Structure 1
């Protein structure tokens, strides 16, 4: 028997970093709430949703079976079709956690940099230019007196 020279390489794994075991049930609830009949294999709801959303019927079936897509852009299309915010669908599908989403919505606040750090970041290393920059910056960030003291002119 002739041995095939065709090499087989395993398909890259693009599994969701977190399992989304309840995604299919959640999606079925959303579709039912939107009026798609999923009561049986011939109910037509899955096919009608596929047609309405532009997502293939086989992909809709895979989503309902918790088989997550490898491309999160599909979830954007799904989010629009089921009228859910895209970030919510990403969390439900296990692409990101609720904590990651919250962190993206409210990133950690950074401490302001000092004038010296700003000069370093800007590459101001000439001593005269650096002194001028630091003096100007420190003057600009100095708190404004509330009692009128320290004002140059009225």
Structure 2
């Protein structure tokens, strides 16, 4: 039964179309049941032919090993394939790729802890210096003068 309420089928079908385009662009003939493209891709990627068929038929596959092999064979990051498959959202992917903008952002305090700086005085100096270095440089007006 298709689960249109949560978009599962739509995402799987969108992923199937994307995968079809990727394989066709790489020379895999997917024009018919006996064209050999699915079998050849299955052999090249190490993914079973039945799983390749399910992916191309718009059936949802969430096995991480399969998706990782797919990413490797197509030359994409696993994150890109997870995004295309509708398993992760773009915001989640960005938060993982750029943790400094997420809730687990590295702070001077966390850096001091990670570096095992436990002495209170040294820790205060480290945090203060790090915060100073993170501040943008003062506007001296030199850039505006150089423009004129």
TM-score, normalised by the number of residues in structure 2: 0.64
Give structure 2 stretches of 5+ with no counterpart: 1-5, 130-148
8 A contact 1:18–1:95 mirrored in 2: no
Change (3 A) 1:38 1:110: same
Match of 1:134 among 93, 98, 120: 120
Question: Distance between the aligned counterparts of 1:141 and 1:92, measured in 2?
Answer: 40
The answer on 1:112 being equivalent to 2:105 is no
- Larger RCO, structures 1/2 (Cα 8 Å, 6+ apart): 1
8 A contact 2:108–2:127 mirrored in 1: no
Offset at residue 18 of structure 1 (A): 6.5
Q: How many residues align?
A: 113
Change (3 A) 1:113 1:142: closer
TM-score, normalised by the number of residues in structure 1: 0.62
Question: Distance between the aligned counterparts of 1:29 and 1:78, measured in 2?
Answer: 14
Question: Distance between the aligned counterparts of 2:79 and 2:53, measured in 1?
Answer: 22
Partner residue of 2:16? 24
Match of 2:36 among 34, 44, 59: 44
Match of 1:103 among 95, 105, 118: 95
* Rg (Cα) greater in structure: 1
Partner residue of 2:66? 74
Which runs of at least 4 in structure 1 moved beyond 2 Å after TM superposition?
A: 108-114, 133-143
Change (3 A) 1:23 1:141: closer
